[in-house]
Structure 1
Amino acid sequence: MSLYNKIRIIFVVSFLFVSAFFASTLYIEKSKRILNTEKRYVRTALFLHKYFRHSMHREHRVDFNDDTIKLYLNESDFKQVTDNHTYSILKHAKVLKRRKVLRSKMEILRVKNTLYLSLQDHRFHILLKDKEKQKAPYELFLGYMGSLLFLLGLYFWLTRSLQPLKTLHAKIEKVAEGDLSVSFKCEKDDEIAQVSNAFDDALRKLESLIDSRQLFLRAIMHELKTPIGKGKILTAFLEEEKLKEGYDEVFVRLELLLGEFAKIEQMLSA
């Protein structure tokens, strides 16, 4: 598996982990908000039920316009719904929660994005509108988006930092094909640059060694050609045939050796 694929896998796992973390946090925050809302509704329902029962015992009637009721509802962020709108709201409302509060029936209703508290007894029925705005968890969303942007930026930064590896690999392939003129010099200070510069130094030393060998072979060939040529000329003036044939055989072997040197020199210079 390549290094790039490993980085991709790490970032995919990180993305899934961050998403799961924020999703669980959002679920927990939502559950807490629902629980706190339900507690506030139950507390309000208990107060209203006790107050209405006390009013029934004392005055034998329920006064929804009582100043105490208005003050409490205002402090609790509730507003009483008038009779003209009660039927329409109850008709279109979705019941989120239904429970008993003492002898009264409490319902938490929702119409679009608005919550309502319905409290009903055999002697009274009141519908309250929740004035407390349901705040969206913008901070949580901002944190999630910030984390994703950070991961994305880190991913592109790492992949860009590893881009010189591809360049280094391409240059090494050229060297493998026999091109020793490739330069690996890099001006950066990271580890990849250190490897590139070390490889360039080794390549320059290898190139210098090959050049030295070529010069050495050329010098040997030059030094051998001259005496061989002179020897062949002098051999032609010999009168003894056996001695002449012996020298000719030696010079032929030397010429074959020079030919092998020439082939080696051509291979090194190719």
Structure 2
Amino acid sequence: MSIQKKITILFLSSLVTMSLIALWVERTNLQKARTIEQNSYLTSAKELFTPLVNKQESELNKRIEELGLQIITDGKIIKNAEIVFMQPHTFGVLKIIKYSQRYYLYIKYLDQELLLYDTAQDESRNERYITNSLVVLDVVLMVVIYLVILKILSPLKYISQKMRQFSKGNLFARSAVKTKDEIGDVSRSFNEMASRLEEMINAREELLRDVGHELRTPIAKGKFALEGVAESKEKEIIKRAFNDLDTLTSEILQMQLLNKEDLLEYGRFKAQTLIAEALSKLYIEDEDDIKVEIEDFEIEGDLHYLSTALKNLIDNALKYSTSKPVIIKAQKRKISICSSGEELDRELEHYLQAFTQQERLQKGFGIGLNIVSKIVQKHGFKLDYAYLEGKNIFTIVFVA
């Protein structure tokens, strides 16, 4: 999970938690305000009832003022209000009503009606308004902090993209982040590392290329000189040594060439065409050593390099198989090479490294599978290995 997703989850969790707390506090405060206001109005009603019954208007007004109440003359409030509490009397009724989020005291005695409002509610409403405003401000501040953090971390995503490009072979990938902070330090360190690695890789490629080309000349001269030597056991040994050197040189140059970007030339062809092309690159003394089973399907890729990969797998199978034939089977977007023999000593990944091979079998240089792996990876395909019923099965899966 990316850092951005983690920060987003933490932010949303905090936001939801704060919202729930704010709603709970607001609901609790409203319930408390309702209870307090109801008790206050009931107490006030008791004190106002006597002067109201006795029609002591001056005393009534005095009590209303002392209790912090305000007389309301708006008749629509009584008609449209919600009744919160009602207590009937012999000659009238006592009500606490709610209108527009405010609570009012309504007293009726005979033909006298009195609608009162407790001004202390305004202070309570202001306190709740300030509290809610602070909560909203806190949420806004959290959003701003979240956006600032994302902006600060955004260069990391860019640097990560450049690192991935470099790891995939783009040696020119560099970060343009030049901030004067820790992220800028990471960017500069990556650029320095990438430059040093590019120099080392280029130097290695140049050395291998030069060595490979320089070796071809003495090998060719040696082969030519051997043609004039009489047939003997020693000549066959020397000839085989020159052939091995020639093969090793070609494989090293091919292995190095596969590190380049934009190497493949894509086209569409059938599995049958690929197998035929791979077999044409091999020298097979006895055609009965190979058995081909094909359920044809279409492949998109570089025919030259895919046939080279398949040729290497077939060549290994012919070299190391304890009995013939080697079976080439194409079906369901897979081509499998099946050969009899002992199971590999280690996991397949070990043999995909250059110059590694089965310890008890020393018939090659340990480069063939490395070349196969690089070609398959460049196409986005898969190379699988299985050992079933005494057979080693190497499979190229033509699905990403």
Determine if contact 2:158/2:175 at 8 Å carries over to the other structure: no
1:96-111 → structure 2 map (5 Å cutoff)? 96-99=84-87, 106-111=94-99
Corresponding position of 1:127: 114
Deviates more, 1:139-148 or 1:90-99: 90-99
Q: Distance in 1 between matches of 2:260 and 2:48?
A: 103
Alpha-carbon distance, 1:126 to partner: 4.4
Corresponding position of 2:169: 178
Q: Distance in 2 between matches of 1:93 and 1:256?
A: 99
Normalising by structure 1, we get a TM-score of: 0.68
Corresponding position of 1:140: 131
Which letter does structure 1 place at the counterpart of 2:133? Answer: L
Corresponding position of 1:11: 11
Structure 2: which 5+ runs fail to align?
262-400
Which letter does structure 2 place at the counterpart of 1:28? Answer: T
Determine if contact 1:210/1:268 at 8 Å carries over to the other structure: no
Q: Which has the larger radius of gyration?
A: 1
Alpha-carbon distance, 1:74 to partner: 2.3
Alpha-carbon distance, 1:265 to partner: 6.2
Alpha-carbon distance, 1:133 to partner: 7.4
Task: Give the match's secondary structure for 1:95.
Answer: strand
Structure 1: which 5+ runs fail to align?
54-61
Task: Give the match's secondary structure for 2:86.
Answer: strand
Task: Give the match's secondary structure for 1:179.
Answer: coil
Q: Percent identity?
A: 23
Which letter does structure 2 place at the counterpart of 1:15? Answer: L
Corresponding position of 2:24: 24
Alpha-carbon distance, 1:223 to partner: 6.7
Q: Distance in 2 between matches of 1:98 and 1:220?
A: 104
For residues 179-226 of structure 1, what are the alpha-carbon distances to aligned partners after superposition, in whole Å with 9 as ceiling and x for unaligned? 111113642355544444433333222222223224434664687688
C-alpha change, 1:64 and 1:199, in structure 2 (3 Å) is: same
For residues 46-97 of structure 1, what are the alpha-carbon distances to aligned partners after superposition, in whole Å with 9 as ceiling and x for unaligned? 21234457xxxxxxxx22422x222221233434567xx87x7655543221
For residues 14-34 of structure 1, what are the alpha-carbon distances to aligned partners after superposition, in whole Å with 9 as ceiling and x for unaligned? 111111111122122222322
Q: Distance in 2 between matches of 1:91 and 1:260?
A: 97
Structure with greater strand percent? 2
For residues 218-268 of structure 1, what are the alpha-carbon distances to aligned partners after superposition, in whole Å with 9 as ceiling and x for unaligned? 6646876888899999x7xxxx965xxx7x969x76777766665566556
Deviates more, 1:184-193 or 1:162-171: 184-193
Determine if contact 1:73/1:79 at 8 Å carries over to the other structure: yes
Q: Higher relative CO (CA 8 A, sep ≥ 6), structure 1 or 2?
A: 1
Corresponding position of 1:35: 35
1:212-227 → structure 2 map (5 Å cutoff)? 212-217=203-208, 220=211
Normalising by structure 2, we get a TM-score of: 0.49
Determine if contact 2:178/2:187 at 8 Å carries over to the other structure: no
Alpha-carbon distance, 1:157 to partner: 1.9
Q: How many residues align?
A: 252
Q: Distance in 2 between matches of 1:91 and 1:257?
A: 102
Determine if contact 1:187/1:193 at 8 Å carries over to the other structure: yes
C-alpha change, 1:210 and 1:24, in structure 2 (3 Å) is: same
Q: Distance in 1 between matches of 2:199 and 2:223?
A: 36
Which letter does structure 1 place at the counterpart of 2:34? Answer: I
Q: Distance in 1 between matches of 2:22 and 2:88?
A: 35
Q: Distance in 2 between matches of 1:6 and 1:19?
A: 20
Structure with greater helix percent? 1
Q: Distance in 1 between matches of 2:21 and 2:154?
A: 32
C-alpha change, 1:111 and 1:267, in structure 2 (3 Å) is: closer
Is 1:65 aligned with 2:57? yes
C-alpha change, 1:7 and 1:78, in structure 2 (3 Å) is: same
